[in-house]
Amino acid sequence: MKASKQIPLRERVQKQLIKRVRARLPGAVLDRVPALMAADIPDEKVSLRDTSYPVQVTQILKETDKAVTIRFRPMEGYRLHYRAGQYVRVAVQLGSSIFRRCYSLTSSPEESDMAITVKKVFRGRVSQHLVRRLKEGDVFSIEDPQGDFVLPANHTYDSRYVMIAAGSGIAPVFALIKDILAKNPDADVLLLYSNRSNDEVIYRKALDHMAKFYRSLSVEYFFTRQGSRRKKRKLTDEYVLQQIADPSKAYIYISAPTRLTNSLVDIFKQAGIDDE
């Protein structure tokens, strides 16, 4: 005699709820919530379409010899909501394999197209493909924007901001600055931006133009290597502290390699600056 299969009450209720949700939601929405819809159906496989949105490249801008900004637009009528400073996971198919990489959104939410900036990495298959081979009209996929490197919820556009970036770490900071100044052209924003040389400065033209247009924006460049056009000027912890007149009235954002970030965080703690 076969034993009857007893289904726990909780599981039966979950299944009934999922059936009701499926009956009420459009198919296009169901495609984007696989975790909920397949919560108790392990036999269903989650595909790339289940978790991502197709986007089409609208423009590619060369920033440096190794970096490009890729502007794109979601297809199929989708419009993704995000906050400046967040990132997306990009999925590209190379041969028979799909590769995923995370890139900060460099566009602000008010812009018609979304954008990421990709810097070519040595032996990086995805970055090499995006920088060298991607062209206008091409299609790739992105997942939902996420991340908490965003502006504070209160007094967002009337505060003082000190932005510290190094290398490609400028990407989310660039989006934050654009968002702040679009909402409040008189916002007090200081950008301290470090690179190895002048040739590696991303968004140089855009930043210089913004600094001329918005008098409240100050941009300072720092270089760790001596160059023919720019003298070596290293960003130091002491200099950063000098630029923060009153820490209680400033928001400080750091987007840089771990070594520089940890060094700055340590000196901020020593100066009594709150972590938040």
| Residue 219: strand, helix, or coil | strand
Helix (H) or strand (E) segment spanning residue 211: helix 204-213
Whole-model pTM: value is 0.79
Helix (H) or strand (E) segment spanning residue 20: helix 9-24
Residues in CB range of 127: below 8 A, 6 or more apart: 101, 118, 119, 120, 121
Query: In the prediction, which pLDDT does 40 show?
Result: 39
Query: In the prediction, which pLDDT does 5 show?
Result: 47
- pLDDT score of 86 more than 60: yes
Q: Given pLDDT bands bounded at 50, 70 and 90, which one contains residue 44? A: very low
User: What is the per-residue pLDDT across 179-188, written as a single tens digit (0 to 9) for each?
Assistant: 999 999 999 9
Bigger pLDDT: 165 or 97?
165
Query: In the prediction, which pLDDT does 123 show?
Result: 85
